[in-house]
Structure 1
Amino acid sequence: MVTLRDGADIKTLRVPAACLRPYTDRMVCRGWRSFAVGMAVVLALPLLAGCNSPDSEPQPTTGNAGPITVEINQSRDQYGKQAIQIQLTNTTDSPLTVTGALLRSTLFEGDITWEPTEGSLELPPRQPKSLPAALPTAACGTSSTDSSREAEARISYSEPGKELAEEYASASDPFGVLTRNASELCTATEATAVATIVLDPELEVAADGRTAVVRLVITPRTGGAAQSLTIESIDGTTLLAESPTAPWPRNVAVGMVKQELPLTIRPARCDPHAVAEDKVGTLLPLRITVGERQGVLKIAASNELRGKIYDFVTSACAGAG
């Protein structure tokens, strides 16, 4: 017997006994086989028709099957501004006109979008272009796993002489930009609920000009979250390092009393471009534990303090030379 499925129904065809014997009438068996194959085709037709039904919902394609590949990146300048780059590469030999780009990731509550300021953007053949996009609120209840390193992209574009089209593709994230930023945003949200942590705008420069003291001010929130907050350690930056004679504090528990932590700083580098090319040198990374979350909390210097730090580093490096 041969069993064929017709949707939820099962059809059974009985094989002629002659076709089961070693020596048989080939014409009879050949005819029966043709009949069985024909029945299989007839029963499969409704299923195939259902796949092409106009009432069925179209499914976006996945992977970079279209003319544009998508990759996620982040510049140093964007690092402290909660923004990323959507890098589009035109894989064709003709220019493409891009009118919009959208990323969707489970790590964020909303879409990450880019819209051109002048209505459209030309994407040259075989060349990439990076489009800046602000990050929305992070979805802090989402687990950060390796599977989160891909986001779904939707690109609106047109080819020369053709109408506007949309490409659905997977956006690769080789450096884990989305995972890192979502984690840091969630860490900041939870830490802010416990205490306000800022850098005092004043800078105390030592008499010899080689070191200075900046103060980290920690103010607990009245009636804030009940979870604990501990500053495990403080990292240096591309511009600032701790003084060997005055190490920065470690394992500082945040209680209900305001604290000021003096941090003795020195220049981390003195090359000619240290200050001129600085992007994140005044963004102080705190490694913290808040509740059950471990992460990095970035504390940015105010514009006033940033200027004083730049002056200090310039003067200290000049004196060291």
Structure 2
Amino acid sequence: MEVNQSRDQYGKQSIQLLLTNVSGRPLTVAAAQLASPLFRGQILWEPTGGGLELPPGQPKSLPARLPAPVCGPEQSATEESTTEPTTTQQPVVTVRYSQAGQAGVREVAPVAVDPFGVLERNNMELCLAAGAAAVADIVLDRRLEVAPDSRTGVVRLLITPKEAGGAGPGGGSMTIASIAGTTLVAESAESPWPRNIRIVQGAPRIELRLRIRPARCDPHAVAEDKVGTLLPLNVSVGGREGQLMIAAGTALRGQIYDFVTSACAQPLN
């Protein structure tokens, strides 16, 4: 059992449970659930119909949604309890399966391997997002303003602080230290994006106009895009620092794809 995450699952609170059948005979997997001290409840996979055929030696990825993360004091207690990981602290998967020629359904519960730190990274990202959400709602406006020459455009980042005194892990304020570019868009050299923006509960709404240009113009930029419309904000909130990913909605995502395609087609001066 291995934990992984594909690029198109980033920002979607979803991961993959990678199962490899080492029994030497075909198995039919009926369900799989993973338990981790970093999350509340089980990380579940269940087939939409029937079971999943798992041939010997052939790994298969099962998509699974992540439950709410464990943050704050509970997380600190888990992290500081020991420097030596134990079976109860490591992620453990329970797989229900059947095998040809054997009656009934069996269970196996191996310790899961997480070689890329997927669970820890997602826990940190989700806890950071929860802290930020307690301070303000942050979204990208659905409209892209394209310059007359089609070489640059403007996306608007809308920040609406929550009411003052609201409870939450953010402590009432947060700072956007910087805004990073994506695989598709970057800041315009003539109009650098703002830095060190402090957001406080109860403050007026903030609108940041971000002038963008294509980050790349190779033929595969749009065709193979996975995360190019997720805008990374480098933030600090509630004692945490990290990247908060703000996703473009369906309408804006399509406009960004059209903009990059059109801008890259413009002749160089």
* Common fold: TM-score over 0.5: yes
Alignment pair present for 1:308 and 2:252:
no
Q: Percent of aligned positions with the same letter in both sequences?
A: 61
3-state SS of 1:169 partner: coil
Mapped contact 1:96–1:123 kept (Cα < 8 A)? yes
Gaps of 5+ in 2: none
Q: CA, structure 1 residues 90+320, in 2 after alignment: closer, same or farther (shift >3 Å)?
A: farther
Gaps of 5+ in 1: 1-69
Q: 1:265 aligns with which of 200, 212, 222?
A: 212
RMSD: 1.8
Per-residue deviation, 1:320: 4.6
Matching residue of 1:86: 17
Say which is worse superposed, 119-128 or 274-283, in terms of deviation. Answer: 274-283
After the TM superposition, which residues 16-31 of structure 1 pair with which residues of structure 2 at under 5 Å, given as runs? Answer: none
Alignment pair present for 1:152 and 2:97:
no
Mapped contact 2:38–2:123 kept (Cα < 8 A)? yes
Residues paired across the two proteins, number:
252
Larger RCO, structure (CA 8 Å, separation 6 or more): 2
The two structures have a TM-score, normalised by structure 1, of 0.75
Per-residue deviation, 1:207: 2.2
The letter of the residue matching 2:94 is: R
Query: What are the Cα deviations for residues 177-210 of structure 1, in whole angstroms up to 9, with x where unaligned?
Result: 1111111111111111111111111211122211
Per-residue deviation, 1:89: 0.5
Q: 1:234 aligns with which of 166, 170, 179?
A: 179
Q: Distance in 2 between matches of 1:133 and 1:277?
A: 23
Mapped contact 2:134–2:172 kept (Cα < 8 A)? no
Q: Distance in 2 between matches of 1:234 and 1:199?
A: 13
Q: Which has the higher helix share?
A: 1
Query: What are the Cα deviations for residues 136-190 of structure 1, in whole angstroms up to 9, with x where unaligned?
Result: 0111131385859941111111222113211111111111111111111111111
Q: Distance in 2 between matches of 1:85 and 1:75?
A: 7
If you compute each CA radius of gyration, which structure gives the higher value, 1 or 2? Answer: 1
Q: Distance in 2 between matches of 1:320 and 1:216?
A: 30
Matching residue of 2:131: 190
The two structures have a TM-score, normalised by structure 2, of 0.88
3-state SS of 2:121 partner: helix
After the TM superposition, which residues 17-166 of structure 1 pair with which residues of structure 2 at under 5 Å, given as runs? Answer: 70-141=1-72, 142-143=75-76, 145=79, 147=85, 150-163=90-103, 164-166=105-107
Query: What are the Cα deviations for residues 277-312 of structure 1, in whole angstroms up to 9, with x where unaligned?
Result: 212111111111112111221111111111111110
Matching residue of 1:318: 265
After the TM superposition, which residues 174-185 of structure 1 pair with which residues of structure 2 at under 5 Å, given as runs? Answer: 174-185=115-126
Q: Which runs of 4+ in 1 moved over 6 A?
A: none
3-state SS of 1:77 partner: helix
Q: Distance in 1 between matches of 2:123 and 2:238?
A: 17
